[in-house]
Chains A and B, each alone.
Chain A
Amino acid sequence: MFDAFPYDEWGEDIADFWTFGGHNSTGTWILTVLGFTVMLVAFWGFFILENRKLGHQADRLKASGALDRPSTTTGHGA
């Protein structure tokens, strides 16, 4: 018999915890909280990552002078 799981004696408990069973099980509650937390972290990550990219690009464009208003004095009489 090939043992697919190396901790065979714990297999049933682990499956009970992680897989879908009746509601109100400890595993269901813990997974729900974990999933909800990861979802919130993902939202925070979307903001942080994008803010960093946009800020970097805006700074680069400002520094390049490409969007600067041309001087209104064109050199006449200078």
Chain B
Amino acid sequence: MISSLIPTWLAQSPTIEELESKVALDSQILTETFYFWTVVIMWLIHVGFMAYEAGAARRKNIMSTAMKNILTIAVVTPTFYYFGWYIYGCFQEGWPKSGHASPDAFEGFCGATAPWSAAMGPNLQDHVSAVFFLAFLLFSWTTGSIMSGALIERVRLSAYLVLTAVLGSVVWIMDAAWGWSSGGWLTTRYGFHDAIASLVVHGVAGAFAFGVLLNLGPRIGKYTTDGLARTFRGHNTHLTLMGLMLIFTGFYGFYAACLVIQSTIFPGWLNIYGSPTTLGAIAFVITIGFAGGFTGGWFASKGDPFWTLSGGLAGVVAVSAGADVYHPSLAYLLSISGGMLAVWAGGFIEKKLRVDDAVGAVAVHGVCGFYGVLLVGIFAGGYPTGINNVPTSFGGQLMGMMAFLPLAFLPGYAISWILKKMNLLRVPAEVELEGLDLAEFGQDFYPEFERVPEIIIEPDGREVASAPVLLDAYWQTNGTPKTPVGVGERS
């Protein structure tokens, strides 16, 4: 009886080829599903940035601040689709093109990234290209959101949208092509290693924002005539802290999306350069990075809530570049230093350079982003990187830093300078004093709450009503505040 069934079973059992085909399809669908969910989780980064920045804004600027984050999606998405993704696919060899430095580079990728490509839609033969595009798109939104917080309460929405489109769809994706891809010239020639985007996302966005801030100038009343910094009190610190926690949650999706999943090939995961790692290692480093960053931020700021949480972000940024290779204890120590560095750099930028970065974005993302790749050169020197297995080195990391600093800073400075000359960068001083929400939207967004006098904190720590201070600053500068560059330079 049983022996008579065996031929039937054999006839029904799949061949090796059929099994291989099924495993390959399952693997593709697993990849598709994985990136899809990283995108979903990464939306939380933008929810978080919106809450974070809106909370840091004064009551009169809440919606204009939040609208920047929302419209980031409206402009970076089409620009990234129409030319940003193409830049990533086609500029990995550098520019002018000199040919891939490795025969293993993904040669056909360029054509698949054009907006008219067969890979950019419901292509039943391609489960991966569309979700991979989306993951990168969410990184692009993140670069814009990093910059947006620095500029709040005085930048024009339209100017910000142009700047964020350039940052999100040209600048950062060019640096990603050069140093955050399997065929990027910085990696295949010099072993540049920035596994989870310390510099290519955070550092570059911070440097671009710094260039914009130099032209944008401080908020009216931010500095005394002696060049000392006053502090504006955000309307809702709880909202800001909740926003930061949402950003942190979204970062787990960000980190996961930085890996390449290959479920049928040992060890199943690669970093962006094609070097093996594991998802667990990455999650381990980000978690201990937050722990160290909070600790460093807390002690350096003497317990300031805003800087403690920002320190957590800075700690993670500082260890991201080497997250695929660091020992957890090393990540803990380095992230503590990153959290402390952000606090000190933030104070230096605000008080010494007198650049009004409203949320410390240049310190947290810019300074710690560059710091992160420098640390890889020190602590992971010799580790083979990328498809050419070029050893990571201090010189290679410096090469990346020297390439990305002008790539980020100069466009930010130049475009904001042009907008400034066209009088399109900053809102009129009168609107800034009254608040952007009334001009942009015609309403106050807490209508059921009584309006109490706005407070400003003087350099000596006194809380005073802001209206006389701001009006005095407005009169002194004739409504055109400049970046104070030295004590006593402003009359």
Contact = CB atoms under 8 A, between A and B. Distances in A.
Main secondary structure on chain A at its contact with chain B?
helix
Contacts of A69: 475
Interface string A30-44: 001001100100110
B116 A55 contact: no
Interface string A17-35: 0001011100011001001
Contacts of B165: 43
Contacts of A39: 75, 78-79, 82
B116 A54 contact: no
Main secondary structure on chain B at its contact with chain A?
helix
Interface string B154-181: 0011100110010000000000000000
B418 interface: no
B22 to A, nearest CB: 26
Interface residues of B, number: 34
Contact of B156 (A36, A50, A62): A50
A56 to B, nearest CB: 8
A54 B471 CA distance: 19
A67 B433 contact: yes
B197 to A, nearest CB: 26
Interface stretch (B332-340, B350-358, B423-431): B423-431
Given A35-B78, A57-B439, A50 B430 contact: no
Given A43-B162, A54-B156, A67 B474 contact: yes
A50 B431 CA distance: 12
Given A24-B116, A32-B115, A54-B439, A47 B434 contact: no
Contact of B439 (A20, A22, A53): A53
A32 B117 CA distance: 11
B427 A54 contact: yes
Given A43-B75, A67-B471, A50 B434 contact: no
B268 interface: no
Contacts of B433: 61, 67
A4 interface: no
**Interface range on chain A (Cβ under 8 Å from partner):** 20 to 34
B431 A47 contact: no
Nearest to B160: A46
A54 B431 contact: yes
B428 A54 contact: yes
Interface of B: 71, 74-75, 78-79, 82, 114-118, 121-123, 156-158, 161-162, 165, 424, 427-431, 433-434, 438-440, 471, 474-475
9 nearest A-B residue pairs (beta carbon):
A58-B428, A57-B439, A20-B121, A61-B430, A46-B158, A47-B158, A23-B118, A39-B78, A58-B430
6 contacts: A20-B122, A32-B82, A32-B115, A36-B115, A54-B156, A54-B427
Given A43-B162, A54-B156, A58-B439, 17 more contacts: A20-B122, A23-B114, A23-B118, A39-B75, A39-B79, A39-B82, A43-B75, A43-B158, A43-B165, A49-B158, A50-B156, A51-B424, A53-B440, A54-B439, A55-B428, A67-B474, A69-B475
